[in-house]
Chains A and B, each alone.
Chain A
Amino acid sequence: MRATRQRGRGRVAPTAGLRPPPGASRRRRRIGRALLYVVLVLGAVPTMLPFVWLIRSALMNDNQIFIAPPEWIPRPFEWSNFTGALTAQPFGRYLLNTMIIEVLVVTGTVATCSIAAFSFARLRWRGRNVVFAILLSSVMLPYAVTLIPTFVMWRSLGALDTFVPLTVPAFFGGAGGGVFNIFLLRQFFLTIPFELDEAAYIDGASPLRVFWSIILPLSRPALVVVTIFTFIGVWNDFLGPLLYLNDESKYTLALGLASFQSVYTAQWGYLMAASAAVIAPIIVLFFFLQRYFIEGVTLTGIKS
């Protein structure tokens, strides 16, 4: 049955624009396809192995984890690693801190990047393209160049050990990486027919109204992409919290995990459980928003 379905698929190919395979080479094609699956499976093994290692270690007690040669099935399943690790340090607090920063950064970035993109894409003003080009040029700038003065600035403003340095830049076009969001949204806004704005303006609408009632509703996919990638950026950010947060009660998840790692150096069960807990939400998010993820990477990849 499998074989007939395969052959059925083979016949689909010509509609995709390829020449129909001559009958003689059909077998060769079938071998080719089998080989393809073999390679895909073989490639998936090293890709997934670290995950398997993570999960099995997260569920083992110290006796089992240090057995050589290693065992793959935890016996028994040591679920207490998770409760142990997550209560050894206030991971709940870290999660709350991370979410506070997430909400502020995502809100700020989406709001200011989209209004800037709207301005650059759909409102005509003198110098618009020059300003946009200058903004865009900062994409190439290594973050190390602005790192030290920015730190010094926040320090002299007394903002160290607060969320201010981690969140306020988001309300100014995301700063740094935010320029890419502006670029992305601008590209998207340009694909919306301009007749819509014209009609609204004739009816006496203000630019803000056009933005809110016409452009935003039509741009949901692009906004979702920016939201997701901003969210992940914050979730993964390590250097920012490392520089600006000292008090443990203000740590984010990434920073909390790093400090956990330096305290519980040899308690691998705990460490793996904590890591799994930090990884899991992003992977769950990925499964729900998979379509947007791939689209987003595709979109960000196309940069001329």
Chain B
Amino acid sequence: MAAVLTRKPDATARPRAARARVSGQARLERRWGIGLAMPAILGFLIFTIGPMLASFFFSLTDWTIGGSPSFIGLDNYRTLWNDELFWKSLFVTTYYTLGSVPLVLVLGFVLALLLNQKVRWLSFWRTIYYLPTLVPAIASAVLWIWIFNPDFGLLNSLLRQAGLPTSQWIYSETAVIPSMIIMSSWGFGNAMVIFLAGLQGVPRHLYEAVSIDGGGAWQRFRHVTLPMMTPTIFYNLVTGVIGTFQVFNQAYVMTQGGPNNASLFYIYYLYRTAFTESEMGYASALAWVLFMIIVLVTFALFQNARRWVYYEMAGAR
């Protein structure tokens, strides 16, 4: 079944020869085709394009819920530039991304390599390592507050028993982001499974070629696995970065952005601005800046990817 699922068709158009053009068939398909796609198209217009334009318009106004909006041009964006909390939230989010994404990638990759071998109780191991990913974000936030509890939490208890210095974890300005990074590393299961899928796509004959040339395990990894896995690594990198830029639940449930705004994640700041302070116009500007940041970062990653991501098709072009 997996083979069917992962098979990638290379052409989306149906073979022309196989198709007898019955008159009326084309009309039938056009009518039904547009009709069946209509809910999705309407959804896109109502829930994506419409809100996008509205959000951009809001960002040019000083609208607060209850008041009436007046057009203020780029003022919100200018205010943003001088907004200490904006920069703080950007810093916090970037800090978290730089810590969390590489950690999750490395852990996921290493575990995928290990579990891609002939291991006994394979599905048992995969289950164990995948399980944390299934825990609902709120439940895992509640659990980790307790793990991070400075007096009776799991981490400090273990550290104390080992005679090591303890930490205030999420209750300390300096430790809160590292704590959240540790917590995020618990959920490397998704990255791992995607890496596993990638590893299964590496052609066996390449390994044979290395073996015939007398290469060992390291050479096989260095010259086959790693280059063949670069597209998967890249995919996990991009989705990971986009994901960590949009962290919200942890900040809301665990720290409320504190202490002293040390965990003021970008979306949490945006949420607070919009739904606590009712500054819808300003929050929309925040949203658009985030959008632009994500577009820029993604673009930069794609540019950078040209140097190290290996695509099998590249040679054929």
Contact = CB atoms under 8 A, between A and B. Distances in A.
A283 B157 contact: no
A123 B33 contact: yes
B31 to A, nearest CB: 8
Q: Which has the most chain A C-beta neighbours within 10 Å: B51, B131, B288?
A: B51
B195 to A, nearest CB: 8
Nearest to A184: B5
A145 B5 CA distance: 33
How many of chain A's residues touch chain B, expressed as a range?
35 or more
Contact of A188 (B5, B29, B137, B287): B5
A16 B202 CA distance: 13
Contacts of B211: 18-19
Contacts of B161: 69
Interface stretch (B72-80, B143-151, B171-179): B143-151
Interface in B127-180: 127-132, 134-139, 141-147, 149, 151-152, 154, 157, 160-161
A299 B295 CA distance: 25
Contacts of A123: 29-30, 32-33, 36
Contacts of A77: none
B198 interface: yes
Q: Which has the most chain B C-beta neighbours within 10 Å: A65, A150, A211?
A: A150
Interface stretch (B96-104, B118-126, B222-230): B118-126
Contacts of B12: 121, 129, 190
B4 interface: yes
Interface in A241-280: 242-243, 253-255, 257-258, 261, 268, 271-272, 274-275, 278-279
Interface in A2-53: 9, 12-13, 16-19, 36-37, 39-40, 43-44, 46-51, 53
Interface residues of B, number: 114
A149 B54 contact: yes
A19 B212 contact: yes
Contact of B54 (A70, A152, A242): A152
Instruction: Specify the main secondary structure of chain B where it touches its partner.
Output: helix
A20 to B, nearest CB: 10
Instruction: Specify the main secondary structure of chain A where it touches its partner.
Output: helix
B135 A198 contact: no
A140 B28 contact: no
Interface in B89-116: 111, 114-115
Contact of B36 (A119, A151, A278, A287): A119
Contacts of B196: 298
B237 interface: no
Contact of B157 (A17, A37, A69): A69
Nearest to A277: B139
Contacts of B118: 9, 12-13, 16
Contacts of A47: 128-129, 131-132, 186
A172 interface: yes
A232 B157 contact: no
What are the nearest 6 A-B pairs in CB distance?
A172-B43, A173-B40, A301-B194, A123-B33, A125-B33, A149-B54
Given A17-B205, A301-B197, 6 more contacts: A142-B290, A143-B246, A150-B51, A272-B142, A272-B146, A298-B197
